[in-house]
Chain A
Amino acid sequence: MAEALLKVYRGDEKTGKLVDYKIPVEAGMVVLDAVHYIQGYYSPDLAVRWNCKAAKCGSCSAEVNGKPSLMCKTRLDDFDLSQPIEVRPIKTFPLIKDLVTDVSWNYEVNKTIAPFKPKTENTDEWKVYQEDVDRVQEFRKCIECFLCQDVCHVLRNHDKKDLVNKKDLFAGPRFMVRLAGLEMHPMDVANRIPYIKNEAGVGYCNITKCCTEVCPEEIHITDNAIIPLKERVVDEYYDPILKMWRAITGKS
């Protein structure tokens, strides 16, 4: 039977290091299977998050040979097994232990987003057409794996995560997708444009599209979510004609 050498990050932020494990490779095996093998036969205390093992829940995010990936859909036979496979926790969020990071920041950001506000509270079923929800449904495919947050250099390298002062914050690609899903919902009437500009910091994105590349759901995060939101902000705040109109009339 073929063997793979996994180098898995073990420990906390200070004392952690890569530890070698030899794994027998079965057909179709994914990295998460290998991690489970380690738990089952070598190190029962190896910490890892996972749930569905079917790329539906977005729990098992890690960096495999440096690439932000879902471990449940990263196959061992995609690698050259004569070389070791390195498995590290996602880097952008604080490490708890082994492959598990503290992603609670994301849940805190989500709380700051104004919820869905329907234009009518009537209890009848709404008339909404498929062509009107196609765009929104793309955004709602997001499984909150936070790989886009992990790879985004605004969060990863520049750490724009200050939720306390809400200054210099960037909500990150995940929440641009969430905001786009709300803003483009045909029945929603809340206005989140000031929030998107001032608090979510849409201006920080300089369209490197790294988030789009790692999205396991293949959401066109930059093109379909972030750029349209940037355009809405521009329309609202920087349209010269509108600006003049406001100056003259005093209306917003």
Chain B
Amino acid sequence: MANLNEKLETHECDVIVIGAGGAGLRAAIEAAERGQKVAVVCKSLLGKAHTVMAEGGIAAAMGNVDPADNWQTHFKDTVKGAKYMNHWRMAQLHAQEAPDRIRELERWGAVFDRTPDGKILQRPFGGHTYRRLCHVGDRTGLEIIRTLQDKVVHTPGVEVFMECTISHLLKDGDRVCGALGYWRENGSFVLFKAKAIVLATGGIGKSFKITSNSWEYTGDGHVLAYDAGAELIDMEFVQFHPTGMVWPPGVAGLLVTEAVRGEGGILTNSQGERFMSKYDPERMELSTRDIVAKSIYQEVKEGRGSPHGGVFLDISHRGAEYIKKKLPSMYHQFKELADVDITKGPMEVGPTVHYVMGGVKVDPETCQSNVPGLFAAGEVAGGMHGANRLGGNSLSDLLVFGRRAGLGASDYVKGLSNQPKVDDTDVEKAIQEMLAPLDRSEGETPYEVHRDLQRVMQTEVGIVRTEEDLKKALTDLKEIQARAEKVKADGLRQYNPGWHLAKDIKTMAKVSEAIARCALQREESRGGHTRLDFPEYSNHWSKHNSIIRKESDGSMTVSTAPLPEMPPELKKLFEEEKH
């Protein structure tokens, strides 16, 4: 245990923000502007977080292109897209506050595409009644993250710790009191003492084989929260984005933005049939993601797929100049990686794991979890998107709830009467756990275990599920968890991805178990959760969220909680429509 004698680098702050995507950066700005000393801790370099990959746009009822749009319609679209499973209050706050967050971005230097009369341009997207997505070609996420990055750099009170991974949250009694991490560069440990923590760690896609997500999406925040005693909700709802690349193999899963369909892209099967007319004749290609993904799955399963197991998506009728202006990165992506010129012919696309709707259960107003001082915003938080997220609602979610989490954390810190204290033995235990894979003389590499985990999740907890598969997945996951405890990390602590993965694989296996347990419990099909053995909506399940909790003996249990009921004035919005 000689390593424990090293001097531990320690930082003290008011709020730790874990993750530097849209939600984390927005939370940091808010908390710092309210006088808190903030540490932003992120696994990658600043500006490389997953937000950078968002393409199509950010949804907000600005009404710039369709003046009839308003927050009520955005709210309704969101709730319907979510198959009525979201927390109504989150959907309401999101729809009400998104336009302000966009105007704020503009004042911070963001440069959106414009309408002919000089306003922010908005494009159509799946499930949105009106043209609602503010965008910059197909690189909206880059614009947002760069704007926030430059804002954070010039916000006094924020310090950014890049390429630093948080491995453990620390508690003093019920409350959070800090976090332990390691520098990726040299493998040395670093302790952050804090009064509040905002999780903004994104999603879980790396548990699956075919995913649009980067290496960072290992479910860190979900599992840090779970281990700290926070409840997770609705983990069965995993969004398969309908259009990922399917060929060549190295890029399988890479995202093809929904903006292709927003700009008029047409989906056809091998028989040249525009098949969405069978599944959603009204909205066609602009149906919600869950429906389009399942339709593609069905077409391929019934033998009408493209040569590489997808379907065709064609935008070439819009003309080369328009495509290069509005979808430049898609044009380059296909040209350079697949030898396909999308201005001349169709792309081959198929479903890819993209987003997790489930996450840390939070209070809508403050984003606080059931653990005092622990907040969550963005993809790691649950409740906002219910059973299926609409495209464009994620970027707006990041800003609306990033800001609210920063505000909530700030208020929480101001209300504390005494400073929580870090217990040294917790820190020592965490460090020992981290070093164990390096000390082992034999064992599998974490990459082997990761490959098997991805296979299990892809085939047994994938786009369609059955009781039999899910039970098998839980058995397989137990075995993978046991293997993950015994992996060996070769090499030293300096920038060692194998060692990093040794911790990540445990996290992924745990979050995968949460997904499988919720999926087994929910005996119905809804949004991003499809059961072949229960293909319909169920009345019972329409009123219940799934809850994952860590019990005192360390085991994971799944239960339910009643879905919060919408107040009458919001319910009325849906009734008015029927008449």
In the bound assembly, the distance between CA atoms of A125 and B214 in angstroms comes to 34
Contact with A along B146-187 (1 / 0, CB 8 A): 100011011000000010000000000000000000000100
Q: Which residues of A contact B339 (CB under 8 A)?
A: 28
Q: What is the size, in residues, of chain A's interface with B at 8 Å between Cβ atoms? A: 61
In the bound assembly, the distance between CA atoms of A45 and B500 in angstroms comes to 9
Instruction: Check if A251 is an interface residue, CB within 8 A of chain B.
Output: no
Contact with A along B120-159 (1 / 0, CB 8 A): 1100000000000000110101110010001101100000
In the bound assembly, the distance between CA atoms of A115 and B543 in angstroms comes to 49
In the bound assembly, the distance between CA atoms of A124 and B102 in angstroms comes to 11
Contact B45 A39 (CB under 8 A): no
Instruction: Check if B446 is an interface residue, CB within 8 A of chain A.
Output: yes
Instruction: Check if A5 is an interface residue, CB within 8 A of chain B.
Output: no
Q: Which residues of B contact A26 (CB under 8 A)?
A: 248-250
- Which residues of chain A in 175-221 are interfacial with respect to chain B, using CB atoms and an 8 Å cutoff? 182, 185, 188
Contact B150 A44 (CB under 8 A): no
Contact B154 A115 (CB under 8 A): yes
Stretch at the interface among A129-137, A157-165, A225-233, A240-248: A129-137
Contact A125 B119 (CB under 8 A): yes
Instruction: Check if B492 is an interface residue, CB within 8 A of chain A.
Output: yes
Q: Which residues of B contact A45 (CB under 8 A)?
A: 489-492, 496-499
Q: Which of B117, B143, B251, B494 contacts A140 (CB 8 A)?
A: B143
In the bound assembly, the distance between CA atoms of A47 and B111 in angstroms comes to 35
Instruction: Check if A156 is an interface residue, CB within 8 A of chain B.
Output: no
* With A44-B489, A59-B44, A140-B136: A51-B498 Cβ-Cβ less than 8 Å: no
Contact A27 B214 (CB under 8 A): no
Report which residue of A39, A44, A58, A97 has the largest number of chain B beta carbons within 10 angstroms of its beta carbon. Answer: A44
Contact A29 B329 (CB under 8 A): no
Contact B185 A96 (CB under 8 A): yes
Instruction: Check if A16 is an interface residue, CB within 8 A of chain B.
Output: no
Q: Which of A52, A136, A141 contacts B214 (CB 8 A)?
A: A52
Q: Which residues of B contact A136 (CB under 8 A)?
A: 111
Q: Which residues of A contact B116 (CB under 8 A)?
A: 130
B153 to chain A, nearest CB (A): 6
Contact B337 A30 (CB under 8 A): yes
Report which residue of A40, A56, A58 has the largest number of chain B beta carbons within 10 angstroms of its beta carbon. Answer: A56
Instruction: Check if B556 is an interface residue, CB within 8 A of chain A.
Output: no
Q: Which residues of A contact B44 (CB under 8 A)?
A: 49, 51, 59
Q: Which of A28, A55, A104 contacts B248 (CB 8 A)?
A: A28
Instruction: Check if A65 is an interface residue, CB within 8 A of chain B.
Output: no
Instruction: Check if B534 is an interface residue, CB within 8 A of chain A.
Output: no
* With A55-B329, A125-B103, A125-B106: A100-B153 Cβ-Cβ less than 8 Å: no
Count A/B pairs, Cβ under 8 Å: 179
CB-based nearest B residue for A28: B248
B480 to chain A, nearest CB (A): 16
Contact with A along B471-511 (1 / 0, CB 8 A): 00000000000000000011110111111010000000000
B339 to chain A, nearest CB (A): 8
Contact A110 B491 (CB under 8 A): no
In the bound assembly, the distance between CA atoms of A75 and B338 in angstroms comes to 10
CB-based nearest B residue for A116: B109
Contact A127 B119 (CB under 8 A): yes
Q: Which residues of B contact A49 (CB under 8 A)?
A: 44-45
Instruction: Check if B537 is an interface residue, CB within 8 A of chain A.
Output: no
Instruction: Check if A54 is an interface residue, CB within 8 A of chain B.
Output: yes
Instruction: Check if B254 is an interface residue, CB within 8 A of chain A.
Output: yes
Q: Which residues of B contact A141 (CB under 8 A)?
A: 139, 142
Stretch at the interface among B47-55, B233-241, B277-285: B47-55
Contact A44 B501 (CB under 8 A): yes
In the bound assembly, the distance between CA atoms of A98 and B499 in angstroms comes to 15
In the bound assembly, the distance between CA atoms of A4 and B64 in angstroms comes to 53
B: contact size bracket? 35 or more
Contact A107 B113 (CB under 8 A): no
Contact A52 B52 (CB under 8 A): yes
Contact A44 B491 (CB under 8 A): yes
Contact B103 A137 (CB under 8 A): no
Instruction: Check if B73 is an interface residue, CB within 8 A of chain A.
Output: no
In the bound assembly, the distance between CA atoms of A44 and B499 in angstroms comes to 8
A27 to chain B, nearest CB (A): 5
Contact B495 A97 (CB under 8 A): yes
* With A55-B333, A73-B336, A103-B45: A143-B142 Cβ-Cβ less than 8 Å: yes
Instruction: Check if A53 is an interface residue, CB within 8 A of chain B.
Output: yes
In the bound assembly, the distance between CA atoms of A86 and B208 in angstroms comes to 31
In the bound assembly, the distance between CA atoms of A21 and B136 in angstroms comes to 41
CB-based nearest A residue for B117: A127
Instruction: Check if B46 is an interface residue, CB within 8 A of chain A.
Output: yes
Contact with A along B26-59 (1 / 0, CB 8 A): 0000000000000000001111111011000000
* With A45-B489, A96-B495, A97-B494: A133-B114 Cβ-Cβ less than 8 Å: yes
Contact with A along B280-300 (1 / 0, CB 8 A): 000000000000000000000
Instruction: Check if A50 is an interface residue, CB within 8 A of chain B.
Output: yes
Instruction: Check if B274 is an interface residue, CB within 8 A of chain A.
Output: no
Instruction: Check if A80 is an interface residue, CB within 8 A of chain B.
Output: no
Q: Which of B52, B103, B136, B490 contacts A56 (CB 8 A)?
A: B52
Instruction: Check if B579 is an interface residue, CB within 8 A of chain A.
Output: no
In the bound assembly, the distance between CA atoms of A97 and B184 in angstroms comes to 11
Q: Which residues of A contact B103 (CB under 8 A)?
A: 123-125
In the bound assembly, the distance between CA atoms of A125 and B142 in angstroms comes to 21
Q: Which residues of B contact A185 (CB under 8 A)?
A: 109, 111
B317 to chain A, nearest CB (A): 23
Contact A28 B136 (CB under 8 A): no
Q: Which of A51, A96, A104, A142 contacts B494 (CB 8 A)?
A: A96
Report which residue of B53, B137, B495 has the largest number of chain A beta carbons within 10 angstroms of its beta carbon. Answer: B495
In the bound assembly, the distance between CA atoms of A30 and B248 in angstroms comes to 10
In the bound assembly, the distance between CA atoms of A188 and B47 in angstroms comes to 22
Instruction: Check if B318 is an interface residue, CB within 8 A of chain A.
Output: no
CB-based nearest A residue for B494: A97
Contact B445 A28 (CB under 8 A): no
Contact B249 A53 (CB under 8 A): no
Contact A27 B113 (CB under 8 A): no
Q: Which of B47, B118, B150, B498 contacts A39 (CB 8 A)?
A: B498
Q: Which residues of A contact B216 (CB under 8 A)?
A: 51
Contact with B along A98-132 (1 / 0, CB 8 A): 10101110010011000110100101111111100
Contact B53 A47 (CB under 8 A): no
In the bound assembly, the distance between CA atoms of A90 and B244 in angstroms comes to 31
Instruction: Check if A236 is an interface residue, CB within 8 A of chain B.
Output: no
Contact B255 A54 (CB under 8 A): yes
In the bound assembly, the distance between CA atoms of A28 and B489 in angstroms comes to 30
Instruction: Check if A150 is an interface residue, CB within 8 A of chain B.
Output: no
Q: Which residues of B contact A96 (CB under 8 A)?
A: 185, 494-495
Report which residue of A26, A100, A116 has the largest number of chain B beta carbons within 10 angstroms of its beta carbon. Answer: A116
Known A44-B447, A56-B141, A125-B103; 15 more pairs at CB < 8 Å: A27-B249, A28-B250, A39-B498, A45-B498, A52-B52, A54-B53, A56-B52, A102-B185, A110-B150, A115-B150, A125-B64, A129-B114, A133-B111, A141-B142, A144-B47
Q: Which residues of A contact B (CB under 8 A)?
A: 26-30, 33, 39-41, 43-59, 73, 75, 96-98, 100, 102-104, 107, 110-111, 115-116, 118, 121, 123-130, 133, 136-137, 140-144, 182, 185, 188
A–B pairs, 27, beta carbons within 8 Å: A26-B248, A27-B248, A28-B248, A29-B249, A33-B250, A44-B445, A44-B497, A45-B497, A46-B497, A51-B49, A51-B53, A51-B215, A59-B44, A59-B45, A59-B48, A73-B336, A100-B495, A107-B162, A118-B107, A118-B109, A123-B103, A125-B106, A125-B119, A130-B116, A137-B113, A142-B146, A188-B109
